[in-house]
């Protein structure tokens, strides 16, 4: 048994909970931050759904990105920190600042607390949104040397992820005092949902299964959340990961219609409502005028967002599941948990 204590921030998150499962299965003790301790029972239930009854090996501390309160206590005695907490402001009038400020300040709060507590390494959950957005079409897949173009009209989420990751690297270089940092940049994260509060990415699979008029011509790489968690652990433990960022992607990018095709080929009757056609770009642009939620999609129409996961395979020996397995695991969990009827 490995009795080292690892802090996982944003314990109600989809990736965070799969990281907690991986850590507990590897024998670590886990402390999770949540905005409200009222959600402890829900997190424990989700981990049980993932096959782990954590018992006393899991503890909780209340802390949120917008406040200093709780972070020193959260980091105390921890060997490592997996920092996945990220702001998700909601409502129609959310300003860009409401995304960027908590993301940047939150990263700095966590890094400061980790440094002051003598933590060895922080693994930051960044995003493909900090790598591959706002560029002219590229002839090669995106890799870890790329950064999203802040001069382009980025979605607030993508801008917040880019600025927050940059701030983290700057902090460790200037004020880290020996604290090590690695960053994981996942593409669209699929795989098994553990409960009703699942990720934005899995909503895409759900929308296909319950029926949508067609697929926008949007392109993405995919990766299974269990492999994202495995990559976090590798980046936490391997000396070679110090000071490096790693794209988490299971293979070449897919168009939405390709994802729909995987569902139709494997799920039989359960995929009866999955779309069979690609929507013309003009139709999506028109719909976006009326539906603000679609606006962020417009700059991505027809853009190839292929990315390479070669570095993680080469440096850390990472070996992810196939794209098909990630897609189908999402669908199977939604069906198994009865999450298609409600929501």
Give me the active site residues, please: 161
In terms of Cα–Cα distance, which of 127, 197, 208, 189 is closest to 163? 127
Query: How big is the chain by its Cα radius of gyration, in Å?
Result: 19
Pairing status of strand 245-248 against strand 219-220: unpaired
Q: Which residue is listed with tokens 């897609």?
A: 327
Taking the CA atoms of 104, 198, 281 and 250 in sequence, report the sign of the dihedral they define. Answer: positive
Pairing status of strand 121-125 against strand 180-186: parallel
167-173, long-range: CB within 8 Å, 24+ apart, which pairs?
167/104, 167/107, 167/108, 168/107, 168/108, 168/111, 168/122, 168/124, 171/107, 171/108, 171/111, 171/112, 172/111
DSSP string, 233-282: HHHHH-GGGTT-EEEE--SS-EEHHHHHHHHHHHHGGGGTTS--SBPPHH
């Amino acid at each position: 048994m490995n009795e080292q204590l690892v802090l996982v921030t944003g314990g109600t998150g989809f990736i965070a909970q799969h990281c907690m499962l991986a850590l507990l299965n590897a024998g670590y003790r886990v402390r999770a931050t949540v905005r409200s301790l009222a959600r402890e029972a829900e997190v424990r239930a989700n981990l049980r759904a993932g096959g782990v009854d954590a018992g006393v090996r899991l503890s909780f501390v209340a802390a949120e990105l917008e406040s200093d309160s709780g972070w020193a206590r959260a980091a105390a005695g921890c060997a490592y920190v997996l920092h996945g907490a990220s702001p998700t402001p909601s409502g129609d009038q959310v300003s860009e600042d409401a995304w960027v400020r908590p993301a940047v300040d939150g990263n700095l709060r966590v890094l400061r607390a980790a440094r002051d507590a003598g933590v060895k390494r922080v693994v930051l959950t960044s995003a493909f949104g900090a790598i591959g957005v706002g560029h002219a079409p590229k002839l090669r897949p995106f890799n870890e040397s790329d950064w999203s173009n802040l001069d382009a009209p980025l979605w607030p989420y993508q801008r917040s992820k880019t600025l927050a990751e940059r701030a983290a690297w700057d902090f460790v270089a200037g004020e880290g005092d020996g604290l090590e940092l690695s960053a994981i940049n996942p593409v669209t994260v699929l795989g098994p949902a553990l409960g009703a509060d699942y990720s934005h990415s899995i909503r895409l699979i759900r929308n296909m299964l319950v029926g949508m008029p067609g697929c926008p011509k949007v392109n993405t790489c995919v990766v299974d959340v269990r492999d994202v968690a495995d990559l976090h652990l590798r980046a936490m433990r391997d000396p070679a990961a110090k000071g490096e960022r790693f794209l988490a992607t299971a293979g070449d990018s897919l168009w939405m219609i390709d994802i729909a095709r995987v569902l139709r080929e494997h799920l039989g009757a359960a995929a009866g409502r999955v779309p069979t056609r690609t929507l013309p770009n003009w139709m999506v642009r028109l719909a976006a005028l009326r539906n603000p939620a679609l606006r962020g999609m417009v700059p991505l129409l027809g853009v190839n967002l292929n990315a390479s996961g070669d570095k993680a395979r080469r440096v850390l020996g990472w070996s992810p599941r196939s794209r098909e397995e990630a897609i189908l695991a999402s669908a199977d969990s939604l069906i198994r948990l009865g999450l298609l009827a409600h929501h």
